[in-house]
């Protein structure tokens, strides 16, 4: 399953809830304000690194926020084409708004 999260973990509990329910075969795509969780050396970065699932961040949202060079190297940055590929690859998806 692909989990997409769009809100900052510092303002909502979407990421926290997602991490509670994910399975080992799931993947997470952080979009919009949720990409903040991928910044090096913050609580949420460590939490998602320790989740045991693959984490993706949308490149365009990182660029829009001027933080692409501050992302932890553990995560894969994907563009819109990669976003579409992930969506096609996963029949089931859960959006954590």
List the chain domain ranges: 2-96
CATH of domain 2-96: 3.40.1260.10
The residues facing 64 across adjacent strands are none
Which residue bears the tokens 């590929």?
85
- Positions in the chain short of pLDDT 50: none
- Residues 6 or more apart whose Cβ sits within 8 Å of residue 6: 14, 31, 32, 33, 34, 95, 96, 97
Write out the two tokens for 61.
């949202």
The pLDDT value recorded for residue 97 is 81
Global pTM reads 0.94
């Amino acid at each position: 399953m692909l989990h997409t999260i769009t809100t900052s973990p510092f303002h909502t509990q979407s990421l926290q809830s997602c991490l509670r329910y994910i399975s080992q075969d799931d993947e997470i795509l952080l979009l919009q304000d949720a990409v903040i969780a991928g910044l090096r050396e913050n609580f949420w970065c460590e939490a998602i690194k320790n989740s045991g699932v693959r984490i993706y961040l949308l490149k365009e949202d990182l660029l829009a926020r001027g933080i692409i060079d501050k992302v932890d190297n553990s995560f894969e940055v994907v563009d819109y084409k990669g976003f579409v590929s992930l969506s096609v690859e996963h029949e089931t998806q859960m959006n954590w708004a």
